[in-house]
Structure 1
Amino acid sequence: MSPPASPTAKQESPTGITHALLALGNATYILNADGKIAWTYPAGTRDGFVLPDGNILLALSKNKDYPSGGAIEVTRDGKVVWSFKGSQAEVNTVQKLGDGRYMVTEAGAEPRILEVDRDSKVVSQTAIAAQTKNTHLQSRMSRKLPNGNYLVPQLLDKVVREYTPAGKIVWEAKTPETPAECWPFTAIRLPNGNTLSTLTHGAMVVEFDGQGKIVWQLSNADLPTPLLKDPCGAQRLANGNTVITSYGQGKPGEVKMLEVTPDKKLVWTLRDDRKHGIHEFQILDEKGKPATDLK
């Protein structure tokens, strides 16, 4: 869809790093590496991807048309080519799978992972063993792994778990007890087998090994100024750097995203004039397409 007049976005890097990216949250848009908005969608979103064919896959926040949340695939001109309507409290994750299916997660009285076909028919479901007192804090950026299992960050349970399609837990990593509210939001299985996770109110980003032990972490103590405030989305780049959204940095002019090297050197930031933060994102290459070597 044609972008309207938009807030100014400013990328800063001592080494000249710039990124194109898909931003998700209260505002949904594609930002070019030159800081200009290339595409927008008029709905709040929770998760999403630019697909290899150029379409955009989005998990929708609750709205008039999707009162329980949902997921859609749209073309660049806004045409919906696939959709799914949630049936519980929220739809928090969407991922397009290689076999023509889509994976979504539903929060509610029965938290679950669903696989849905092109006709929006549910073809499989896996129960998530999460608390049900606070459905909003059940799970977030879940992903299907190459081995067929699902990696699920469970916020209020303070644990990242790997489930088989039958719902068996085969791996888990518990988040630290301190600082308070280390709620895992993003969970990414890295090529080395470790798992990267953001810890929201704990203002940390951690990497767990195969035994669930933290082998790398980033906190505000590692940065020249406190920039981590409710870190939500994250992405590990092919060069080993980690890009993070600081969702709680919601005021105009604050740093909404940052990039650090493996040794925790700050090498890139993104500021804009919006009155809210970025919930989740996808780094794109210079042509606005998904960078296939990024995880």
Structure 2
Amino acid sequence: MQVKRLIHLLTAVWISLVFLLACRPSNLVDGGILGPGIPVSLTIQVVDALTLQPISGARITLKKDGQNIAPDQASDGSGAAVFTNVPSGDGYKAFAGSVRGYTPAASPAIKLTQNDSVQIAMSPSVNSGAGLVAGSVKDASTQAPLAGVSVNLVPMAGLASYRAPTPRAGVQQMSVPRYPPYRIQQVPPVPGGSVVQTDASGQFTFNSVPGGAYQAVFQMPGYKQMTRDNIVVTPGESTTIETVFMKSGSGTGNSAGNILVVESGRVVQMNAQNQIIWRFATPNPSSATRLPDGNTLVADESASQVWSIGPDGSILWKMGSTLGLINTLSGPGWVSAAKDGLSFLITDTGNNRILEIQNGQIVWEFKQTLLRPRSATYIPNGNILIADTGSRRVIEVTRNGQVVWSFLTDMSAPVHAVRLEDGNTLITDAGYNRVIMINAAGQSVWYFDGSADPAGPLNRPRSAMASATGTFLISDTGNNRILEVNRQRQVVNALSNFAHPQVIERL
């Protein structure tokens, strides 16, 4: 009898414990991750970008939507600073500065779901006049981050005065930079402004900005242009622009919005009002593509090089050095990046091959039966579309090198091909001076040769692309113009201030 009572008592206690545990408050969501708004700790570590050694005494600022989240901290001997009781969520960004001999730096966008750590790498600089400008952009109606907004930072006519950074307690002061000049980042001038694009979190960063006063211009197709004036950049410090809220609205100009154009002697970016807002000069560019991080890949055919160009126009790396492919490229005719920007294709025309580069290494190569290919682009299914110009065909190949689709009917010199969202393929045939659209069955469903255009027919077109509104942009290279053509083969817009435009990319 006593045993039964003991069993009943233990059972009652067990049920009570289970009930209490089930009813206890919890800050965790599925997977043990903290729910929104729950305080967490964030550790920021500042290191030298060249040696990865910790930097002590750096002033670290944590912001969200342009507002300080906590008092600034100085990095300790291990280069670290810990921010406690930070509400979990996204949209955070950390900044490090106030270290003589270094340019200020910023972290990527930070999303906090649990205690976390982020590293910021500061680059040595022989120029003390470098600052940093950062901010974020959101939709005014939904408050959602806007990715792909073009932000143009332009010097204002009158430079605002600025004070040199004053010594702070615990801030490292360096009389001279630690490294030889050839390894130290130089601060380039920004005479005509520089352009970056917001990332997936709606954030943007301008690095190595000379001290002075600037205007920021925000542009995106479907939204009204916004500006921010009197942005003062202090050498060695980070300047944050309060969150910009863009309102939807219609604009004028080309339907593609922001486009990247390759022409003789330079690569330019144009906004929806057909204004040049970014440029890079090089003797003989053959192709260019914009990466998600705001850098631009440029192929130069005569130099047999592919370069990565920063938003400020500086060359970040060359194909021959960083990628270890010295003297292996021969007249690269095209460069195309994957949507995530982690890999890109090089059409190595002179060597009759297509290369895919990832993390500085060749991860894929195709050269079977190719003859003077002029372009290669990614297809959503993972295959590669190649304009095999010398063989007068366009082919789709798998990563195993198998040709799974081809078109070679009545072709003269196909120099560019792109797969459209509807599954059709847009082909630019420079030999027959036309652009044709081919369906999966190999049938022509649309074409344009300009024969009915009062301004004259196409002359050696180099590439064509679809706009966001269903029209097509064609680089009419021989006529020094870019045409926007609708489905009825009517020219709805013509841009004529170009010198042999070759490549168009919608940004």
Query: TM-score, normalised on structure 1?
Result: 0.77
- 1:269 is paired with a residue whose SS is strand
- Unpaired runs of 5+ residues, structure 2, are 1-189, 194-250, 321-326
For residues 212-270 of structure 1, give each alpha carbon's deviation from its aligned partner in whole angstroms, at most 9, with x where no partner exists. 221111122232331411111111112210110111114xxxxx111111111210000
RMSD: 2.3
Once the 2 structures are TM-superposed, how far is the Cα of residue 128 of structure 1 from its aligned partner? 4.1
Task: State the distance in 1 between where 2:385 and 2:317 align.
Answer: 24
- 1:235 partner letter: M
Which of 99, 103, 120 is 2:345 aligned to? 103
Aligned identity (percent) is 25
The 5 Å alignment of 1:39-58 reads 39-43=278-282, 44-58=284-298
Task: Select between 50-59 and 147-156 the one with higher mean Cα deviation.
Answer: 50-59
Task: State the distance in 2 between where 1:161 and 1:171 align.
Answer: 6
- 2:253 partner letter: I
Which of 150, 156, 160 is 2:394 aligned to? 160
Partner of 1:21: 259
Partner of 1:116: 357
- 2:431 is paired with a residue whose SS is helix
The 5 Å alignment of 1:239-278 reads 239-250=469-480, 256-272=481-497, 276-278=499-501
Q: Which runs of 4+ in 1 moved over 6 A?
A: none
Instruction: Tell me: CA distance 1:52–1:246, structure 2 relative to 1, closer, same or farther (3 Å).
Output: same
If asked which structure has higher relative contact order (CA below 8 Å, sep 6+), I would say: 1
Task: State the distance in 1 between where 2:343 and 2:505 align.
Answer: 20
Which of 70, 74, 83 is 2:309 aligned to? 74
Instruction: Tell me: CA distance 1:55–1:23, structure 2 relative to 1, closer, same or farther (3 Å).
Output: same
Partner of 2:128: none
- Unpaired runs of 5+ residues, structure 1, are 5-14, 64-68, 132-137, 251-255, 284-289, 291-295
Partner of 1:93: 334
Instruction: Please state if 1:216 is matched with 2:431.
Output: no
- 2:253 is paired with a residue whose SS is coil
**Equivalent residues of 2:332, 2:346 under 8 A apart:** yes
For residues 132-185 of structure 1, give each alpha carbon's deviation from its aligned partner in whole angstroms, at most 9, with x where no partner exists. xxxxxx1122112122211001123211001112222111011426xxxx3111
Task: State the distance in 2 between where 1:82 and 1:92 align.
Answer: 19
- In proportion to residue count, which structure has more helix? 2
- 2:336 is paired with a residue whose SS is strand
Larger radius of gyration: 2
Once the 2 structures are TM-superposed, how far is the Cα of residue 206 of structure 1 from its aligned partner? 0.1
Task: State the distance in 1 between where 2:307 and 2:191 align.
Answer: 19
Instruction: Tell me: CA distance 1:20–1:100, structure 2 relative to 1, closer, same or farther (3 Å).
Output: closer
- 1:151 partner letter: L
**Equivalent residues of 1:72, 1:80 under 8 A apart:** yes
Task: State the distance in 1 between where 2:332 and 2:451 align.
Answer: 34
Query: TM-score, normalised on structure 2?
Result: 0.46
Instruction: Please state if 1:172 is matched with 2:374.
Output: no
- The count of corresponding residues between Structure 1 and Structure 2 is 250
